[in-house]
Every structure is written in structure tokens, then in C-alpha cells.
Amino acid sequence: MPQDPYSVLGVPRDATADQIKSAYRKLARQYHPDVNPGNPEAEEKFKEVSTAYAVLSDPDKRARFDQFGLTEDQPSGNPGDYFGGGGFADIFGMMEEMFAGGGRTSRRSSGRDGEDHRVEVTVNLEELLTPSEKGLTYKRMAGCSTCHGSGAAPGTSPTSCGACGGTGVVTRMQQTILGSIRTTSTCGVCQGTGKTIAEPCPTCKGRGLEVVTEKLSVTIPSGVEDGTALRVPGKGSDGVGGGRPGDLYVVVHVPEDPRFERHGRDLVTTYKATFAQAVIGDTVQIQGLSGPIDTSLEPGTQPGSHIRLRGEGLPRVNGTSRGDLIVICEISVPTKVTEAEAQLLRQFAEMRGEPMPQGVGSQGFLGGLFGKKKK
């Protein structure tokens, strides 16, 4: 957004150079990044203040702003990019470019790239055993079907942008404390497409893109973790003016399963054995991911002990060999027994020489003797 440098510095239109300088000094001290470390708002404000001062401290730029509301380097007819005027903001932008690496500059050189998109897909644990196909439906921007992506009304065609000579980028010589430095930035007139459109396409309003509903089938690899993002190159929105299409990121959501806890490739489940089963041992059926599994409960199984069922867990990502299913044994204790059952348990205790349980409340020993059972 273009900002009025006078209001940024809080000075009247007829402010003297000294007034401007002192207003700038006061604000610069207040918002300086050294005084406000890690405060992006202050940093933004500091840039605004510096840019405003760069305009108002230069008599030529100030006069030009007063007359046209523009700064000198701006292409006429496009007041959108106020910061293009060559103030401090450009130095910050230039620094960002210098440290951002070469990728950004090369991406800029032709047209505007399409946006990336993100869709979420839910798969359950069973679907992780083998690669699974998932159908997706999502919206993206695709080349307009009326103008075939040119953005120009049918029968007309875009012309090369005069401001950047059709390259989509503008190069400036910048005088900085480091000397004279050449900077490039996206052309503000054509937004980097290198083309200008006299008569915009009525369907896409000259954007060259329209919203389409895309259907796509993706393969979810076996064994992926919840939150994994799969990149489908080129399936984001289309670029314009030769820009590259964006990518589609398919984020795999694996919801929690009440039956299993996931520990990497291993799954953990619980099995509730009866007291008698745990004591004597038994063949029991465990619910595995690919169906019921028969396994033996050893005599004398203790609560909290583990049974490891090899190869009944999940595969590695893209793999086939599976981890294990770990069964934690719980022993269920009956919450209510009949008098006859209680009698057997007392006999059992007696035979083993264990203390004789006396019971409590209505289930107590005396209560039992006098038949005061609650049913």
C-alpha cells in the first residue's frame, strides 16, 4: 500500500527540512531494530519511517511526490508500488534477495509461478498395510479456457510490457553505503508476466486463470506416519506468462485407532484374560490389523505382561515387512460373584494356605452365611 510520507513522519505538508529531520530522528530511534529486537511490527514501522524520510529529505523526490503523489523511479500510471522509489525499503528488499539464494531470482525471470495447494486425505491403519489409491477433489487456478491463459479478450493479444521490455523484471542501480549496487525486482506494471493487456478477457478479467475443480488419484505409500506431506509436482495452480505451475501437497492424516496404539512400526493392544485363563493358560484370539490371530496365553500369565506377535504390526514407509503387534495382558477380576462362587474361592484359598478372605459389607463372610444376597 502506498503511504503518504508526511503522515508516516507526522509532519505538515509545509514542514521545513529541519522539522522533517527531527521527526525522522525521533521515530527512527523509537522503532530502530536494535531497540526492538524480534519485533516485526517495529521493524516494519522502521522501514516505513526510513522510506518516508528518503523521499522527503530529497528536494527532487519531495517535489515529485507533492506534484504527482509518486516517487521518481516509478513507472507512470502505477502508483501501486510506492516503495519502488528507491528508499531504504529497497535496501531491505535487496538484502533479502542477497540472502535468499539464487532460486528466487531465477524463478522470477519468466512470468509468475502458480500457487502451491494443500489437501488433506484420511487413511486408516488397515490402508497403511499396502500402498492405497485415494481419489481427491480440490480447486485450483488453471489457464483460462476462454483466452487460453493469455488474459486478453478473444481476438486480441497481449503486448510486450513497455516498463520492463517484456522481461518481467526491472533493474535499478542503487546508491547505498556499500557503493553502487544493481538490484532487480518484479516489474510492477505487468506483475512479472512481461505482458500488458489492452482489452482483458471477460472470463478471467485478464488474469489468465480461472478456478477449476480438479480430480486426481494419488497413491498413499504403505506405512506412512500421520502428517506426512506428499508432493505432487505441477498439480497446484497454473502459472501465467510462462511461470511454472505450483505443486500439490497431499497431507496424510491417520486418525487415532481406539484398538491400537502406534509406536513406529509396532502396534500395541490389550487383551483382557480371566483369572482362570491367566492361571491355567489358554488359546486366545487377538484382534490384529489383518484379522483375528490365535495365540497362547501361558499358564501363570501376570497382569501387564506382553505377548509379541511378530509381523503383525505396520510396514516401513514403502516397505512390506511388518513390525510387531505387542499385546499387553490384563486380568479381569469379577466385580460380583454368587455365594457358591465365593465358596469355591474360599476353598481355593484354603487349599493354597492363603489367608481366608472375610469380605466386606453385605458381601461379607457373615452376610454370606445368613444368605443376605442382593440380586
Binding site for Zn ion (CB under 5 A): 144, 146-147, 161, 163-164, 187, 189-190, 201, 203-204
Which CB sits closer to Zn ion, 193 or 269? Answer: 193
What span, in angstroms and rounded, lies between the C-alpha atoms of 68 and 82?
12
CA distances from residue 229 to 246, 250, 264 in whole angstroms, order as listed? 15, 5, 17
Which CB sits closer to Zn ion, 201 or 289? Answer: 201
- The distance of closest approach from Cβ of residue 91 to Zn ion in the complex, given in angstroms and rounded to an integer, is 22
- The distance of closest approach from Cβ of residue 199 to Zn ion in the complex, given in angstroms and rounded to an integer, is 11
- The distance of closest approach from Cβ of residue 140 to Zn ion in the complex, given in angstroms and rounded to an integer, is 16
What span, in angstroms and rounded, lies between the C-alpha atoms of 362 and 284?
35
Which CB sits closer to Zn ion, 199 or 266? Answer: 199
- The distance of closest approach from Cβ of residue 262 to Zn ion in the complex, given in angstroms and rounded to an integer, is 48
Q: What would the grid cell of residue 196 be?
A: 500488458
- The distance of closest approach from Cβ of residue 135 to Zn ion in the complex, given in angstroms and rounded to an integer, is 29
- The distance of closest approach from Cβ of residue 96 to Zn ion in the complex, given in angstroms and rounded to an integer, is 21
Backbone φ, ψ for residue 67 (5° rounding) = -80, -45
Which CB sits closer to Zn ion, 57 or 78? Answer: 78
- The distance of closest approach from Cβ of residue 20 to Zn ion in the complex, given in angstroms and rounded to an integer, is 33
- The distance of closest approach from Cβ of residue 71 to Zn ion in the complex, given in angstroms and rounded to an integer, is 18
Q: Let me know: does 28 contact 50? Beta carbons within 8 Å.
A: yes
Q: Let me know: does 209 contact 144? Beta carbons within 8 Å.
A: yes
Q: What would the grid cell of residue 175 be?
A: 546508491
Q: What would the grid cell of residue 217 be?
A: 488419484
Q: Let me know: does 131 contact 138? Beta carbons within 8 Å.
A: no
Terminus-to-terminus CA distance in the chain, angstroms? 80
User: Which of these, 203, 205, 197, lies nearest to 158 by C-alpha position?
Assistant: 197
Which CB sits closer to Zn ion, 161 or 314? Answer: 161
Which residues make Cβ contacts (< 8 Å) with residue 17, sequence separation at least 6?
A: 57
Q: Let me know: does 241 contact 168? Beta carbons within 8 Å.
A: yes
Which CB sits closer to Zn ion, 245 or 288? Answer: 245
CA distances from residue 364 to 307, 335, 338 in whole angstroms, order as listed? 37, 14, 12
Strand partners, 284: 295
Which CB sits closer to Zn ion, 55 or 161? Answer: 161
Which CB sits closer to Zn ion, 77 or 371? Answer: 77
Q: Let me know: does 217 contact 134? Beta carbons within 8 Å.
A: yes
Strand partners, 309: 325
What span, in angstroms and rounded, lies between the C-alpha atoms of 321 and 290?
14
